[in-house]
A and B are shown apart, each in its own frame.
Chain A
């Protein structure tokens, strides 16, 4: 069965440090890939997405992600974390060729804490 794995349940980084959140998927073909952020009291917000083309994707709030087909990964990165980045981060994938059944499969999320 298709699945999305976020190996890190919780990560703590210091403000100003770099960040990498991991995401792995299991699909035969390249899926559509998404990173969403959920801040306390707010709805999920799309950070970035990958459908095809350049494997390094730039998103909002200074985030980027790199798609690596050989590793079935789509890791999220940020060079310098701000205290406001503390939130829950979800990786999601959409199965290609799903026709009208285009729903997203979600990872369990990574909770990011930022130390001052």
Chain B
């Protein structure tokens, strides 16, 4: 079955960077876009951006344009999200979610289990 397995929790200091991985299995990696979504403690879901199947095109939410980099390694079927210049407000659970689309529109399924990133001095 399709699985997205994310890397473990991270604790970082303000100003540092973090790189979260999302290893996929059970489908052809290069057929689907991948989205990243985050959720601060007690808050709602926030879309961060999307990377295309070949990894050469990304579209980031305006809020994250300057600090987020999405990449993928097609040889290992793994996606990566790097967030730089971390601040306390970046403390959140970060999710990867596989994109689907057809005439019905777009949807995310499945999701990774989430990676908690804590930013604290």
Q: Do A and B bind each other?
A: no
Q: Could you tell me which B residues sit within 8 Å of A by CB distance?
A: none
